[in-house]
Amino acid sequence: MQNYSSIQKILHDLVLSKKFINKSLFELEKIVYLKDKKIKNQNHIFITGLPRSGTTSILNFIFLSNEYASLTYKNMPFILSPNFSKLFNKKNIPLKERLHGDGININLNSPEALDEIFFNNEKKFIKNELLNYIKLILISENKNKYLSKNNLNYKRINLINSILPNSLFLITIREPIQHAYSMLNQHLHFSKLQKENDFIRRYMNYLGHNEFGLNHISWSEPVEFKDFNNINYWLEQWCLFYQKIIDNYQSHDKCVFIVYEELTNSKYIKKIFDIINFDNNKNLDLNFFKNSNKNNLDVSCSDYLKKVANEIYNNLKDKNLYSQ
């Protein structure tokens, strides 16, 4: 987004800020491209969890198998019309590190969390059209299984499961102090970027990416800590978020808890293959994942929050895919 021309920025502002444009293109796309495709009982994958817990790396890793269709940057800004969006001749660009500055490189063919533009509609529309929308994405890529990474998918697991009953929900967890520290740094980083370039703020807002920056929206109502620039705020949010995950999904048979710290373990990756029902016939690199935790991280935070967070983390680790 930082390299968009003035015309590209105007186009994105126009299309992404007006729901009726996207919905109109969606209705037209259904007329032109939609056909009967048996996808209801496929093993689709929905990745969710707090940001900075490995969700993007897992998305990229599974996407490399070439067994799944996902929205990519080349679909921008026409996210609700994935087939029409491919008609535009977009010259691909070399891989470049994304704005997060976290070593993840992207280009137009990279998958991304873009389907929140669809989910950011009234519940009736989502319920009636989700199957059609995913069909259109699969048709555009000639695939049978859908792969989504959306940090807000946790809010709609039961709804998606009721429509696509064989879908799996991969929920990532990360050691809480490391995780809170990473989220705080990203918030400070994006706040600075957005102050320097307002299009970055608007772009993230359009996509529902309010995890960090000037338009940050809390996942839960803060209890004691409301300062976004304080690690205790992020640690409290971590506790509130994952306690709700335990309360709502710890016994859900379609939810798989994935521990960030275990992703560098090749045996753990093979277990992921077993869970999502494909073998490593694509010769995927079992050393794909990098652990970004800081050695000897020493931050000052609430002892009480730290204690609660560690209890939740250990509880969730007991539910991870080793125990499936």
Domains of the chain (ranges, CATH numbers):
6-323 (3.40.50)
DSSP code for 318 = T
Q: What is the pLDDT of residue 11?
A: 87
The pLDDT of residue 99 is 81
Whether residue 59 contacts residue 179, with contact meaning beta carbons closer than 8 Å, is answered with no
pLDDT at residue number 270: 87
Contact call for residues 186 and 192 (beta carbons, < 8 A): no
Measured distance CA(43)–CA(274) in Å, rounded: 13
DSSP state of 293: P
Averaged pLDDT, groups of 10, the chain, 324 residues long: 75 86 94 94 96 95 93 93 82 76 81 94 95 97 96 95 96 97 97 95 93 97 97 98 94 93 92 78 80 91 96 84 50
Q: Which residue has the tokens 């989910």?
A: 119
- Residue 3: predicted pLDDT: 65
- Report the C-alpha gap between 202 and 226 in whole angstroms: 23
Between CA 184 and CA 161 the distance in angstroms is 32
What CA–CA distance (Å, rounded) separates 249 from 15? 36
* Residue labelled with tokens 């929205």: 71
Exposure string over 53-66, b if 16+ CB within 10 A, otherwise e:
bbbbbbbbbbbebe
Q: What is the pTM of this model?
A: 0.93
Task: Residue 305: count other Cβ atoms within 10 Å of its Cβ.
Answer: 23
Kindly compute the dihedral angle of the four CA atoms of residues 145, 151, 152, 158, in this order, to the nearest 10 degrees.
50
Q: Which pLDDT does position 323 carry in this prediction? A: 46
